[in-house]
Amino acid sequence: MNFEWQVITHNFTFLMGGLLTTCELAVIAITGGLFLGILLGMARLSTIKAIYYPATLFINLMRTQPLILVIFWLYFLMPLILGKPIGDFTSASIAFILFEASYFAEIIRAGIQSIPKGQAEAAYSSGFTYWQTMRYFIIPQALKNMLPSLITQGVVVFQDTSLAYVIGLREFLRSANVVDAREMRSFELYLFVGLVYLLVCFSISRIGKRMELKRGIA
């Protein structure tokens, strides 16, 4: 088998454009999913039924559906609801935020529940409100317990962005597929894609490990 790495160098700019789209989608999914996940996670701990049950229903619905199906839902249903197309990147971003929020929510919930209840009770008795207690006492401590799971989920999000190819989004994997359809050099292209995914995911894991050591988790 003859290796032709020129197919990578000749199409490097095009492939990096796809990687940039992948990174943008991953950042949006993680940022938006984490923000919504915090709200949902706290809602899951609420004693108010009107808050608890809708959040629980949403989380269970998302967690029982394949991500690729959620992507299809948003891509085909949103134009019907809004009366106009919203584009592949926007629909993929919304799908990822909603889907990942359900997983982040459970991580947040578990992290908060890992803190002894006595600390919250002590804060309340000192005159702190619920939100002040969460902000200054519970969340900072819970973050140490959440961090490994949050980092792992972040790596999963980056890998899962490849599923956006089903609606035509030209992310990294689809960009390689486009080049392969023209150049017919599958081995070199997909080996390169695999190496890039390995490098990015390994780097994120190492950064996460250092953060854990710095915070005294490991």
Q: Locate 189 and state its tokens.
A: 């292209």
pLDDT score recorded for residue 26: 95
Q: Locate 126 and state its tokens.
A: 């000192």
Looking at every residue in the chain, the average pLDDT score rounds to 88
Higher pLDDT, 154 or 211: 154
Domain spans of the chain, in order of start: 6-214
pLDDT score recorded for residue 90: 92
Confidence of residue 14 (pLDDT cuts 50, 70, 90): very high
The reported pTM is 0.87
DSSP state of 1: -
Q: Kindly state the average pLDDT of the residues 49-68.
A: 94
Q: What is the pLDDT of residues 70-124, one digit of tens each?
A: 999 888 888 888 888 888 899 999 999 999 999 999 999 988 888 888 888 888 8
Give the CA angle between residues 117, 119, 125 to the nearest 5°. Answer: 105
Q: What is the pLDDT of residues 96-109, one digit of tens each?
A: 999 999 999 999 99
Q: Kindly state the average pLDDT of the residues 154-163.
A: 92
Q: Is the pLDDT of residue 211 over 90?
A: no
pLDDT score recorded for residue 2: 64
pLDDT score recorded for residue 218: 46
- CATH of the domain spanning 6-214: 1.10.3720.10
pLDDT score recorded for residue 186: 87
Nearest one of 92, 94, 96 to 104, comparing CA atoms: 96
CA–CA separation, 56 and 65 (whole Å): 15
pLDDT score recorded for residue 131: 78
